Amino acid sequence: MAKILIAGCGDLGSGLATNLVAQGHTITGIRRTKHDFPDGVKGITGDLVTMSDEALPDTDLIFLIMTPKGRHEAAYRAAYFDTAQVLIRRYKNMPKPPKVFFVSSTSVYGQSQGEWIDETTPAQPESATANILLETEQALAAVLPSVAVRCSGIYGAGRFRLLEKVLSGENWQANSWTNRVHRDDVVSALVLLANVALANAALMDKPLPQQVIVTDQTPVSMWEVKLWLATCLGAKIAVSDSGQFTPTSGKRIQGQYLLSQGWTLRYPSYVVGYQALLTEFKP
């Protein structure tokens, strides 16, 4: 069994930890605040950026799953690049450095003319925050064996922002392509990646790709999603120009690597995923 560090043991990290503990692995979890960790996890509460090397355990695999405190450049740099530097400092000189899975975002693909995107598409970030994500990916890959796990928009239990927006009656912005993935499917993807990495290490098999896309494989127009939600919620359809139904921006994302490894989506489309969320939602 392996020793695995989950740096960022919040919602996604806790789901991952629970699955890996059940498989018999030794799990250490770090979270910035709070002291509640899944059963069987050795928990460390504190800011990773200020931790000493001695506080971080020897490990076989690392999952870096951070959440910025805001959607601006400084928050992203603190959450992603600065935490990656701590891991690089701690583990770069080990005889056998651990494999690092950095949970990144498909926002590193700045393409926005309806292009199809997959793991072979070059990242072309257009925003300052996306640039920091790519910079973090590159910093890790330059020193440690690492995989950038690029997730599209994550939704799921307790994540009601889009439902609240549809209910608000706020005028819908210009239509665009959107790509989503359910939180539970992200967790199952991370579990699969851990298992593939450990199996490959044991068998001296071929290395993992440098980047993996995690998405539900069903790109869709944002207005289609909002229309479906508005119908379910009995909300106003806040469209000023219904002649613009065809998306004018965004990208269409699919990833092949996880599917090639046997990954099965529990929520293969927004309809399946949001049905469960609507049951939970109480406006």
Q: What's the confidence (pLDDT) of residue 239? A: 85
Q: Minimal CA–CA distance to 66: which of 75, 74, 56?
A: 75
Average pLDDT of the chain is 95
Query: What average pLDDT does range 28-36 have in this prediction?
Result: 94
What residue ranges define each of the domains in the chain, with the CATH number in brackets?
3-157+182-217+253-266 (3.40.50.720)
Residue pLDDT, tens place only, 37-68: 999 999 999 999 999 999 999 999 999 999 99
Q: What's the confidence (pLDDT) of residue 242? A: 63
β partners of residue 252 = 116
Q: Is the pTM of this model over 0.75?
A: yes
